Amino acid sequence: MNLQEFCLLLFSVLVSATGQFFLKIGALKLGKVTGSNLVSHILNIIMVPELLAGLACYGLGAIAYILLLTRVKLSVAGPSASLIYIFSVLMGYFIFKESIPIYRLFGMGFIVCGVILVVWQK
């Protein structure tokens, strides 16, 4: 993976992670879903701007990922896209004040090591 391809991957991952951020903010605004409010919540999704922004980010991230797939093998791009998990955990920690248990830190480290091994070229 060359620098241009890596930047495209990083853009896809960051935009998708931003989409997760907006989806979380929108979900908090929407409130907890129960059996009695399921239909109204589904209908209200189109009324929450943060949810629409999150879906738009996901769409943009998917477009960037498709462009990446025109240049990189799926066996490299697919596992590399797992970097979104790292950004999701970090957003949860820094923005939503979620804790990061030690086993999650190890998991994040394994993901990063795995991506390095997948994209490594001689």
Summarised one tens digit per residue, pLDDT across range 27-53 is 999 989 888 999 988 888 889 999 999
Six token digits for residue 63 = 């477009």
Question: Count of CB atoms within 10 A of residue 97's CB?
Answer: 7
More confident residue, 56 or 43: 56
CB-CB contact of 100 with 107 (8 Å): no
CB-CB contact of 53 with 21 (8 Å): no
Report the pLDDT value the prediction gives residue 45, as an integer from 0 to 100.
87
What is the overall mean pLDDT for the chain? 94
Q: Which domain holds residue 47?
A: 3-119
What share of the chain in percent tops pLDDT 90?
Answer: 83
- In this model, does residue 13 exceed pLDDT 90? yes
More confident residue, 119 or 8: 8
Q: Which residue has the tokens 């030690």?
A: 102
The count of domains in the chain is 1
- In this model, does residue 69 exceed pLDDT 80? yes
3-state secondary structure of 45: helix
